[in-house]
């Protein structure tokens, strides 16, 4: 019985340790965005269109890239998307996007108001694979664009890469 209790306690501690390490990664992403990130207000795209959520995209260089902040080296950005409802007591969430590159534009998708709830959004983001300055510096880099479809609800954020 004592051996089983020790095993259960050890398993629990490993689980908690893994959970804490995951929080440290989120903390590092948050610190990077606060220190030198760029904020992109996604609600400014699609003027005149009613939006159910306040969406912000935070951009920082990808931690896996070997480039400096002050250079025009070949860097790809990583993105953190935050959403907030427009309520008195707003519900918020944050999601790290899988897409890496340089943000170009956002297009909000009109939703059928009969089917869509007030606290959701659907949009398409367009990215460059490499930054404009990197492709100017190095002609061998492909000037590729790609699009990502986001469906944001208070239950979560669904990210789908669209075919070219």
pLDDT along the chain (164 residues), means of 10: 43 36 54 83 88 90 61 72 87 89 92 67 93 81 91 89 90
φ and ψ at 100, to 5 degrees?
A: -130, 140
Q: What is the pTM for the complete model shown?
A: 0.75
CA 43 to each of CA 69, 121, 159: distance values in angstroms, whole numbers, following the listed order? 27, 10, 18
> In this predicted structure, what is the pLDDT of residue 111?
66
Q: Which of 87, 88, 85, 65 is CA-nearest to residue 76? A: 65
Backbone angles phi, psi at 153, to 5 degrees: -130, 175
* CA within 13 Å, CB half, 82: 13
What pLDDT was estimated at residue 8?
Answer: 37
Cα of 23 vs its chain's centroid, Å: 16
Max CA pair span of the chain: 68
Domain locations in the chain as residue ranges: 1-36, 38-162
Cα 123 to Cα 128: distance, rounded to the nearest angstrom: 17
Q: What is the pLDDT at residue 10?
A: 39
């Amino acid at each position: 019985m004592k051996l089983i209790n020790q095993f259960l306690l050890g398993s629990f501690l490993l689980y908690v340790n893994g959970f804490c390490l995951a929080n440290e990664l989120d903390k590092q992403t948050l610190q990077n965005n606060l220190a030198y990130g760029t904020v992109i207000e996604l609600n400014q795209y699609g003027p005149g269109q009613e939006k159910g959520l306040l969406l912000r995209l935070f951009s920082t260089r990808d931690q896996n890239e070997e480039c400096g902040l002050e250079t025009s080296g070949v860097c790809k950005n990583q993105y953190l998307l935050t959403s907030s409802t427009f309520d008195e007591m707003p519900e918020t969430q944050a999601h790290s996007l899988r897409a890496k590159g340089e943000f170009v534009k956002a297009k909000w998708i009109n939703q059928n108001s009969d089917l869509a709830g007030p606290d959701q959004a659907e949009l398409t983001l367009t990215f460059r694979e490499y930054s404009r300055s990197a492709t100017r510096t190095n002609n061998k880099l492909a000037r590729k664009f790609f699009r990502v479809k986001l469906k944001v609800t208070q239950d979560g954020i669904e990210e789908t890469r669209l075919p070219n």
